[in-house]
Structure 1
Amino acid sequence: MTAGGGTDGTTAAPGDQPTLSARLARFAVDCRDHGVPDAVRADIPGRVLDILGLALAAHADPGADAAAAALRSVRRWGGIGEATVIGSGDRLPAPAAALVNGVLAHSLDFDDTHLPSVLHPSASVVPAALAAAEAVETGAAAGGAALVAAVAAGIEITNRLGMAGYLPATGVNVFFERGQHATSICGTIGAAVAAGLLYGLDDVGIGHAIGIAASMGAGILEANRTGGSVKQAHCGWAAHAGVSAAVLAADGLTGPPTVLEGRFGFFTAHTGDFTADALLRGLGTDWEVLRTVYKPYPSNHFTHPGVDCALALRAGGLDPADVAEIELGVAAPVLRTIAEPTAEKTRPRSAYHAKFSGPYTIAAALLGGGGLGLSLDDFAGELPADRLALAARVRCVADPRASELFPRAFAAVLRVRTRGGALLEHRVDSSRGGPQHPLSAADLATKFQLNAERAVPPAQIAALRDAVLGATGAGVTPSALLALTAPAR
């Protein structure tokens, strides 16, 4: 459908009524100029802290090879040192720093998720905002109004773009059906908005940044199924492209006003159809950023309800040695990600690809554990033979109830047949960390601590946490904040 347009898919002429990008731009500038609601203001620092912890942990994870490749590449590019690479201390041009930081943020597949769009918005938007904030050195602290407003607006727009490609009647995400990674495609525009706000663009300039960024967003999901580390780089490229789009707009490059809804625009290219109501309904009053949930486990979010079930059965006394066979029932649309191809998912080719395996994550939950239930150590190094053997006994099927609830919640049922013939079953209708079971403040503090301590010492972790959350860090500049992530000398 179109938004106030003609029957040929075009919108009304600019000036007749605002285009979609113009309305999003005005919303974003209003966030910067007039602030965001208290609940949103309180929410954003935690998202910044989560991303910083994830990026630090990625430095110490041998499976995060995409981040190492990105850093090697951008060091060769050279340029003026405007912004900091989290955890390394490198000073690079803002788009290059955003690239590396976005790759770091998404490398562990441990970043937050918006439902029902199933996007991971913060891993693109936060790195872009931090890089832009450093480049202009606004003087805002991590919890300061300028950075908070930029991140909030960028995440909100990212989420709403994803929602516009989601069809409520069928539960289908059209981006996903086409093999497109909506996280990076929509995140490029959200990153451009966040960066543009910090560069001081007005609503016209933000509109151009959106128009430019829409030509830069990309991401193909096949690596989820059959391997490759390129998916780790998707959020980094979105952050890089977003900052680049904002800089280009500031320097005079322009974008089409109907870039989103036009005949040859964003939605025609990526989804073929869209719901403008999802993009605009309640914009500025009903915040999708607050429906963005944190992950307790460092694996693809579709695996989480199965992990919950396995942990519950383990807590109830299930002995993995007594397992004859396991049936994992999940929403039908997620089978392609965590269950197919069968040979790839029952025996993943690397620890990183094990994060996208329903069978392997069940085995890890029954035999491993750490952190908030599963830890980064459960997806490190060579995959243990006992977990692979148990994963081979897991069969994944579509479950009607989980399919009905998807994607507003991730649900699953786990049925275990023991060697003695007993049948054990556990079902969850919303995974831990999801809308019905959000992580507590203590859980989030533990997650950050466990991630950050893989790279920096305790005193540095405390200083970084205080600076982001504002307990003692009033007046900390973006550069000073990111200096706290540098490796100990």
Structure 2
Amino acid sequence: MSTPYDIAAAFAAHAVRVRHADLSPGAIRAGRTFLLDTLGVGIAGSSGANVQTVQDLAERWGSGNEATSWLTGRRMSAGSAAIVNAYLIHCLEFDCVHEGAVVHPMATLLSALFAWCERESAKGNQVSGDRFLAAMAVGVDIAGLLGVATDSPLRFFRPATAGGFGAVAAIANLSGFDEATTRSAFGHMYGQTSGTLQPHLEGSPLLGLQIGFNARGAIEACDLAAAGMGGPLDIFTGRYGYFTLIEESVHPDRVEKALGREWQIEKLSHKPFPSGRLTHGVVHALRDLMRDEGFAPDEVAEITCRVPPLVRRLVGRPDIPDPASNYAKLCLPFVAGVFLAKGRCDVPDFRGEALRDAHVHAFASRVRIEPDGNTNENALDPQEIIVTLASGARHVKHLPHTYGHPAVPLSAEENEEKFFRCCGHAVPPVPSARATRIRDLVAGIETLADVAVLSAATGGSD
């Protein structure tokens, strides 16, 4: 009888083993691409709601001089900086996503990893850019495969829950942990794992904070393990483990097939618009149909979106007259209304008076969402968008994948344009010279002796 595949042991061995030389050329390119993308959306996140409150409270929760709160340059404990920067990354719903896993892995991962690296740099333990890229790839592998391994419909907020374990794996890689210590760190992370979908349902700003709580937890979990404190070991498939209490099902064969063979960082999708990824299909379809068929927004009588159950459940919420920003970003009819009313979907379209724009809401009222017969509770696509015009003409767009997916990617130029646009949305806007410096540091990350300089630049100093 064969021995069952031990996910915790396999994750620990992968975290300990991987070095930069192991990465594929595609993983290295994707690492640079989504590092720049994530820093950009974090910078733009300074324009999000409640940012000042989060910064002030985080500084009180953990004052100190260990790490940098991005954009403001405020110094605080590593755990508190991780909370702030995670919130900045996710609060605009603009950060990249692993669609197969339904995970935003970089928000938890990078906020924890940069804070930890800054703390280590201050102690004289500098982390080079090539080591950082390898750790980042490890973290995306673990977070991504935790999502890929399950068929369970989302109940907990997977970017936070799975993301925390990805951050632990990345820090373990940089810390030089052995497998036993890494497994203990996973156990300590499990004791702090948190985040449900209720904030998503209500459009609450707690959604991004949940990512921050798990980012802080990852640093603390690794500190506990490094100090020699043992954690529970069978935390993924044990009687009360992750796949029993949080996800309810597991297919270990999916992890075994992919781990160490397929770099999950190559599977990340951009978010070209600052709204829930599940709203992007309708924008993609409207953009293409209006371009190809030549009709104007005012000619649209009805839009029917035939979509998988995950789309209907998470963003099929009704349009309301005065939505909170977080609600609007996760409301497919509102997002479609924004694009038809303004010909774009960008950061300013989801705040202030833009949320009450009568023109947007009039278009939103024309959107219908229907089931497509898909039984996969974690599928984002395919989608079919049907536009009926006032003339009676009917145009259909079938989307095997949505713009931003690896099969329909942003170009390198589009990725860079998004980064600079995000810098312009910051409060205050990031000067072009500083934005260019951050871009250049990311482009040359493998030559950096200490990645803390990248945090310093993002924080507003060199």
TM-score normalized by the length of structure 1 = 0.86
Q: In structure 2, how many angstroms separate the alpha carbons of the residues matched to 1:163 and 1:86?
A: 31
CA-CA distance at 1:365 after TM superposition:
1.5
Residues 1:80 and 1:430: Cα distance change in structure 2 (over 3 Å):
same
Instruction: Name the counterpart of 2:37.
Output: 50
Identity of aligned residues (%): 29
Q: In structure 1, how many angstroms separate the alpha carbons of the residues matched to 2:35 and 2:254?
A: 26
Instruction: Name the counterpart of 1:10.
Output: none
Instruction: Name the counterpart of 1:13.
Output: none
Residue 369 (structure 2) aligned to one of 371, 396, 410: 396
Does the aligned pair in 1 maintain the 2:203–2:330 contact within 8 Å? no
Instruction: Name the counterpart of 1:322.
Output: 299
Residue 414 (structure 2) aligned to one of 443, 453, 462: 443
Q: In structure 1, how many angstroms separate the alpha carbons of the residues matched to 2:119 and 2:460?
A: 21
Q: In structure 2, how many angstroms separate the alpha carbons of the residues matched to 1:432 and 1:31?
A: 31
Does the aligned pair in 2 maintain the 1:211–1:259 contact within 8 Å? yes
Instruction: Name the counterpart of 1:100.
Output: 84
Report the 3-state secondary structure (helix = DSSP H, G, I; strand = E; otherwise coil) of the residue aligned with 2:386. Answer: strand
Aligned pairs (5 A) from 1:367-378: 367-370=341-344, 374-378=345-349
Counterpart of 2:43 in structure 1: which amino acid? L
Does the aligned pair in 2 maintain the 1:55–1:104 contact within 8 Å? yes
Does the aligned pair in 1 maintain the 2:156–2:197 contact within 8 Å? yes
Structure 2 residue 142 is matched with structure 1 residue 157: yes
Instruction: Name the counterpart of 2:248.
Output: 272
CA-CA distance at 1:203 after TM superposition:
2.1
Instruction: Name the counterpart of 1:387.
Output: 360
Instruction: Name the counterpart of 2:283.
Output: 307
Does the aligned pair in 2 maintain the 1:409–1:429 contact within 8 Å? no
| Cα deviation digits, residues 327-380 of structure 1 (max 9, x gap) | 22222332111113x3xx35461233211111111111112134xxx2212222
Q: In structure 2, how many angstroms separate the alpha carbons of the residues matched to 1:306 and 1:411?
A: 12
Residues 1:278 and 1:27: Cα distance change in structure 2 (over 3 Å):
same
Residues 1:41 and 1:293: Cα distance change in structure 2 (over 3 Å):
same
Q: In structure 2, how many angstroms separate the alpha carbons of the residues matched to 1:335 and 1:475?
A: 44
Structure 2 residue 352 is matched with structure 1 residue 365: no
Does the aligned pair in 2 maintain the 1:456–1:488 contact within 8 Å? no
Aligned length: 452
Q: In structure 2, how many angstroms separate the alpha carbons of the residues matched to 1:414 and 1:264?
A: 42
Does the aligned pair in 1 maintain the 2:43–2:423 contact within 8 Å? yes
Counterpart of 1:399 in structure 2: which amino acid? D
Instruction: Name the counterpart of 1:38.
Output: 25
Instruction: Name the counterpart of 2:162.
Output: 186
Report the 3-state secondary structure (helix = DSSP H, G, I; strand = E; otherwise coil) of the residue aligned with 1:413. Answer: strand
Instruction: Name the counterpart of 1:413.
Output: 384
Instruction: Name the counterpart of 2:132.
Output: 147
Q: In structure 2, how many angstroms separate the alpha carbons of the residues matched to 1:405 and 1:305?
A: 17
CA-CA distance at 1:19 after TM superposition:
4.0
Unaligned runs of 5+ in 1: 6-17, 167-173
Residues 1:477 and 1:40: Cα distance change in structure 2 (over 3 Å):
same
CA-CA distance at 1:427 after TM superposition:
2.8
Instruction: Name the counterpart of 1:232.
Output: 208
CA-CA distance at 1:201 after TM superposition:
2.3
Q: In structure 2, how many angstroms separate the alpha carbons of the residues matched to 1:238 and 1:378?
A: 29
Q: In structure 2, how many angstroms separate the alpha carbons of the residues matched to 1:378 and 1:127?
A: 26
Residues 1:409 and 1:353: Cα distance change in structure 2 (over 3 Å):
closer
Structure 2 residue 397 is matched with structure 1 residue 426: yes
Instruction: Name the counterpart of 2:458.
Output: 485
Does the aligned pair in 2 maintain the 1:83–1:131 contact within 8 Å? yes
Aligned pairs (5 A) from 1:432-471: 432-454=403-425, 455-470=429-444
CA-CA distance at 1:446 after TM superposition:
0.9
Q: In structure 2, how many angstroms separate the alpha carbons of the residues matched to 1:288 and 1:254?
A: 29
Report the 3-state secondary structure (helix = DSSP H, G, I; strand = E; otherwise coil) of the residue aligned with 1:327. Answer: strand
CA-CA distance at 1:146 after TM superposition:
1.6
CA-CA distance at 1:307 after TM superposition:
0.9
CA-CA distance at 1:66 after TM superposition:
4.4
Structure 2 residue 13 is matched with structure 1 residue 26: yes
Counterpart of 1:335 in structure 2: which amino acid? R
Aligned pairs (5 A) from 1:41-80: 41-59=28-46, 61=47, 64-80=48-64
| Cα deviation digits, residues 266-321 of structure 1 (max 9, x gap) | 21111232111122223212222211111111111111111111112332332222
| Cα deviation digits, residues 14-45 of structure 1 (max 9, x gap) | xxxx8432221111111148643333233212
Report the 3-state secondary structure (helix = DSSP H, G, I; strand = E; otherwise coil) of the residue aligned with 1:485. Answer: helix
Aligned pairs (5 A) from 1:163-202: 163-166=148-151, 174-176=152-154, 179-202=155-178
CA-CA distance at 1:117 after TM superposition:
1.3
Counterpart of 2:35 in structure 1: which amino acid? V
Does the aligned pair in 2 maintain the 1:410–1:434 contact within 8 Å? no
| Cα deviation digits, residues 120-178 of structure 1 (max 9, x gap) | 1011111111111111114334xx22211111111100111111123xxxxxxx151xx
- Aligned-residue CA RMSD in angstroms? 2.3
Instruction: Name the counterpart of 1:9.
Output: none
Residues 1:285 and 1:227: Cα distance change in structure 2 (over 3 Å):
closer
Unaligned runs of 5+ in 2: none
Report the 3-state secondary structure (helix = DSSP H, G, I; strand = E; otherwise coil) of the residue aligned with 1:453. Answer: helix
TM-score normalized by the length of structure 2 = 0.91
Residue 109 (structure 2) aligned to one of 125, 142, 147: 125
Which structure has the highest helix share of the two? 2
Instruction: Name the counterpart of 1:15.
Output: none
Report the 3-state secondary structure (helix = DSSP H, G, I; strand = E; otherwise coil) of the residue aligned with 2:224. Answer: helix
Q: In structure 2, how many angstroms separate the alpha carbons of the residues matched to 1:74 and 1:41?
A: 33
Residues 1:262 and 1:34: Cα distance change in structure 2 (over 3 Å):
farther
Between stretches 24-33 and 267-276, larger displacement belongs to 24-33
Residues 1:248 and 1:329: Cα distance change in structure 2 (over 3 Å):
same
Report the 3-state secondary structure (helix = DSSP H, G, I; strand = E; otherwise coil) of the residue aligned with 1:65. Answer: coil
Does the aligned pair in 2 maintain the 1:124–1:184 contact within 8 Å? yes
Between stretches 319-328 and 153-162, larger displacement belongs to 319-328
Report the 3-state secondary structure (helix = DSSP H, G, I; strand = E; otherwise coil) of the residue aligned with 2:398. Answer: strand
Residue 356 (structure 1) aligned to one of 322, 325, 330: 330
